[in-house]
Structure 1
Amino acid sequence: MESSTQIERCTPIIRVASFKLAMPFYSSIGFIEEWRRQVDPAFPVFAAISRGVVKLFLSEHADDGAVGIRLILDVSDVDLFHAECIQNGVEIHEPPQDMVSGERRMSLRDVDGNVLTFETSRTRRLF
């Protein structure tokens, strides 16, 4: 089936136990809060954060998935991003490494155990 409609963006929802505890991690890797919705102080938070053109939703709502997901985010230079993380005191889950599929990638783990993998594509594959 052919389709002429292009999917232009995907905004994943990351389940967090506490927005208040999660946001310092995301701020340390350059994300800023765009908006936050919380009907009442006793209700869960749903918020949008962004860094450049990348937007993520952080949600305390139990129905918004499970903690422990892995996201892959493309970055222009994973080694430069790694240096930025080190400078900001971010704990590195997996340091930059070359993958046989041709990417160079590193991973971080947020306070809830969600893994964010950052990668830069290489022009040469190792296999």
Structure 2
Amino acid sequence: MAPIAFQRAVPVFRIFDIPKAHEFYLDFLGFGIDWEHRYGDDFPLYCQVSRGDLVLHLTEHSGDATPGSTACIVMTGIRDLHAQLSAKRYRFNRPGLEDAGGRLECTVIDPFGNRLRFMEVTG
């Protein structure tokens, strides 16, 4: 029997508007589209986006995910990420950089109420 080994978790976020999702995840956060899937014309979208090693699934399917979910993303270089996001001046989200006692946090909220909490351990 092989030992149990977890590879990674991939958060699934519910979306309702593809252009708004693209504006937020691609233009603002800098993700790229890895693949998209639909069962046919006029069916909901299910896709994967990534930036470096960070992978997310975005879905229009009503049963796949709950709007308003949160993903905690442990990372390094959070000050640079914050500077990149601030420079884009995205009118719907101007995230801060907060000292949370032993870590820095930068939280962004997508147009569908989902939160991405970027965190870097500092102490």
Q: TM-score, normalised by structure 1?
A: 0.86
Gaps of 5+ in 1: none
Counterpart in the other structure of 1:18: 17
Q: Percent identity over the alignment?
A: 24
Q: What's the offset of the Cα at 1:75? A: 2.3
Distance 2:49 2:72 in 1: 16
Separation (CA, whole Å) in 2 of partners of 1:97 and 1:21:
26
Count, aligned residues: 119
Partner of 2:104: 104
Residue equivalent to 1:88: 88
Which letter does structure 1 place at the counterpart of 2:35? W
Contact 1:92/1:107 (<8 A) preserved: no
Q: Mapping of 1:7-86 within 5 angstroms?
A: 7-27=6-26, 28-86=28-86
Give RMSD over aligned pairs: 1.5
Kindly provide the amino acid, as one letter, of the partner of residue 75 in structure 1.
M
TM norm structure 2: 0.89
Structure 2: tracts of 5 or more residues without a match: none
